[in-house]
């Protein structure tokens, strides 16, 4: 089997493997599987990516979250969405997007901190993001023992990012966000569902996830 794999043409072999991966494949892993030098694999991957772009194919080969994977080309998103969704809603709610953004830019961060920034209880949304694999636990806060959360490699994959350093710059908005957080830390309403005037334990948006 090893000699058979080593004797395959590299580029078609890479295409065949990448067609069946369920997460980005690293150059090291591909080199090991195909029994080729990593440099040769890296060159072949970039040649394939450039070739698909030059040909205007409906898919592209991208380096995302440390590995390579096929993605549909953004220009053809309407066609893909129409086929996959077929009238069903599969996008994150506004509440989930806001919560995910807070985690992405302030990670590692606790649930209470996220709730303070948003001004509402985010427990329901955080559970959904955990279930979707977009965020994960990242230890505990030393001072309070609260669980901290961060985004995952799956988040990078879904966003099409190589790393967190590719997140859009938010400097123009940070002063306003800090002001909102400062105001909400002291005046944050009670999240006790049994309190007379307390809001529901979950946002209305939290009831309808993806």
Q: Which pLDDT score, from 0 to 100, does residue 45 have?
A: 97
The stretch 178-184 carries a mean pLDDT of: 44
Confidence grade of residue 186 (pLDDT, cut at 50, 70, 90): very low
| Residue 74 backbone dihedrals phi, psi, to 5 degrees | -50, -35
Which tops the pLDDT comparison, 57 or 131? 57
Domain ranges, ordered by start, for the chain: 2-82, 94-207
The distance between the two most distant Cα atoms of the chain, rounded to a whole number of Å, is 73
Preceding amide of 108 cis, omega within 30: yes
pTM (2 decimals)? 0.50
Which tops the pLDDT comparison, 209 or 165? 165
Domains 2-82 and 94-207 share a fold: yes
Which CATH class for the 94-207 domain?
A: mainly alpha
Instruction: Please tell us whether the domain made up of 2-82 is placed in CATH 3.10.20.340.
Output: no
């Amino acid at each position: 089997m090893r000699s058979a794999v080593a004797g395959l043409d590299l580029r078609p072999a890479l295409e065949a493997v990448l067609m069946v991966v369920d997460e980005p494949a690293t150059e090291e892993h591909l080199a090991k599987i195909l029994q080729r030098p990593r440099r040769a694999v890296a060159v072949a991957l970039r040649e394939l990516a450039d070739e698909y772009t030059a040909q205007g194919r409906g898919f592209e080969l991208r380096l995302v979250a440390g590995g390579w994977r096929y993605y549909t080309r953004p220009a053809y998103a309407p066609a893909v969405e129409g086929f996959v969704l077929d009238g069903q809603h599969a996008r994150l709610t506004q509440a989930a997007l806001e919560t995910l953004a807070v985690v992405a830019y302030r990670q590692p961060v606790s649930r209470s901190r996220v709730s303070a920034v948003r001004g509402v209880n985010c427990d329901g949304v955080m559970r959904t993001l955990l279930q979707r694999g977009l965020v994960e636990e990242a230890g505990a806060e030393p001072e309070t023992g609260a669980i901290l959360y961060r985004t995952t490699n799956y988040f990078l994959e879904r966003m099409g990012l190589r790393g967190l350093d590719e997140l859009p710059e938010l400097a123009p908005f940070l002063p306003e966000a800090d002001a909102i957080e400062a105001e909400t830390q002291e005046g944050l309403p009670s999240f006790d569902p049994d309190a007379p005037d307390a809001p529901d334990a979950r946002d209305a948006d939290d009831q309808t996830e993806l």
